[in-house]
Amino acid sequence: MTFYINTLYMRTIVKLWDKGKSFETDKFVESFTVGRDRELDMKLARFDVQGSMAHIKMLESIGLLEKNELNILLAELETILKNIEANNFEIEEGIEDVHSQIELMLTRKLGETGKKIHSGRSRNDQVLVDLKLFFKSEITEIACLSKELFYTLINLSETHKDVLMPGYTHFQIAMPSSFGLWFGAYAESLADDLLILEASYKQADQNPLGSAAGYGSSFPLNRTMTTELLGFSELHYNSVAAQMSRGKTEKALAYAIAAIAGTLSKLAGDICLYMSQNFGFVSLPDSFTTGSSIMPHKKNPDMFELIRGKCNRLQALPNELTLTTCNLPSGYHRDLQLLKEIIFPAIDELKNCLVASDRMLRNIIVNSVTDNTLYDCMFTVEDVNRLTLSGIPFRDSYREIAIQVHNKMYKPCRKVSHTHEGSIGNLCNDKITEKMEKRFSTIVVNQE
């Protein structure tokens, strides 16, 4: 059996846990344990610098750094941060992760002073800080994209509030709905999804720095100071609980991603169905559809089909994270490294699906279809209610209309009058918008 060995296996990997020349780690073991960290950690670089800057300010305040050393380190970290923001930063070949890269750069430039930056922390709480800051930033971006899509849906709801469409139960024509009601339903669903996103934000908005490897430090650290410097709302007080939040934070976010993905998937499924010739409720410009290699008439909703498929896959995210972590006892385990490989791509996938959904909906075409006699029966409940309001008992009204339908004598009155909150004639889009704004502001105001 032949194995392909990446050239990285043959290189020395710089490690924060290097103990000198007392032993050599097998090159395959080195590469296998590093995994995709070098690639994925690029997303954490900015936050690693921010965490280090807060940490050394705290170290200086408790006497573990001199003032001049702090100023030198801060200046160099600012330079690194500017390079990161200018996309002029890389994790060099042979460097284990972003933490090692930044510490190596400081040590190269500042010598012994650079070596002091890690005092009072472990790579465990260092990566936890990076992840929590990263998740807070990503959650805010997801909230912003969700809000953009929300307003597209609300605008469509208002624009088409008077255009009727059939509502369905059991895939059978049921009662009158409207495009205003349909678009507005997905807007409110997104507002509800932000409740779960807000909860995931609060889970991430706790400072683990100073918990070290999960059991604290004998240095007199000021964890309240780093909490304030990094903009966290509160501490993970118990150092073991802080370490246990690795995996728990990811799962909280995964449930939020799955909730939003569920909304997008259902919306995409509706549109794929309603675009078919059997329905014809909506359509898209030719430039937003694809064709067939042999059927010249085809206008396929490939974008929405892919959104549906991607979002269905995203709904499995909580289960995947649970299976990765379900049998781990307290304390750090290397299994947790794999969570980045699961959650990072999922965040990007959801953001892409939100952008794609918004772009497609801004170009959707609504078709009026309910004048077709095919949809006569969707007005039966309206006529039952109309008879009941005239004084006939409901059960008698129901039977009268049922007999007309059975005998093919039913002729609908197509006038619809709904007034209660959340009905065709009273969409309450203003109240739904209040919901969204309230939940959105809880996330974004905290981030700012």
Using the 8-state DSSP alphabet, how is residue 281 labeled?
Answer: S
Query: CA 247, 251, 252, 253 torsion: positive or negative?
Result: positive
Which listed residue (22, 170, 297, 390) is catalytic? 170
Contact 108, 114 (CB under 8 A): yes
Which listed residue (292, 330, 368, 417) is catalytic? 292
Q: CB under 8 Å to 6, separation ≥6 — which residues?
A: 31
330 as an active site residue: the answer is: no
Q: Where are the alpha helices (DSSP H) in 288-393?
A: 302-314, 317-325, 338-361, 380-389
Return the closest-CA partner of residue 305 out of 255, 258, 360, 259: 360
- Please state, in angstroms and rounded to a whole number, the distance separating the CA atoms of residues 107 and 410: 86
- Please state, in angstroms and rounded to a whole number, the distance separating the CA atoms of residues 117 and 293: 61
Q: CB under 8 Å to 23, separation ≥6 — which residues?
A: none
226-229 CB contacts, 8 Å cutoff, 24+ apart: 226/54, 226/55, 226/57, 226/58, 229/53, 229/54, 229/57, 229/58
Whose tokens are 């209309």? That residue is: 401
How far is CA 313 from each of CA 237, 252, 375, rounded to the nearest angstrom?
A: 35, 17, 35
Could you give the count of Cα atoms lying within 13 Å of 98 in the half-sphere of its Cβ?
28
Contact 425, 419 (CB under 8 A): yes
118 as an active site residue: the answer is: no
Other CB atoms within 10 A of residue 325 CB: 18
Contact 230, 129 (CB under 8 A): yes
How far is CA 3 from each of CA 9, 25, 36, rounded to the nearest angstrom?
A: 12, 20, 19
Ranges of beta strands (E only) in 179-299 are 206-207, 234-235, 282-283
Return the closest-CA partner of residue 50 out of 186, 221, 230: 230
Contact 307, 272 (CB under 8 A): no
379's tokens: 């007005």
Other CB atoms within 10 A of residue 242 CB: 26
Q: Which residues are known catalytic residues?
A: 170, 292
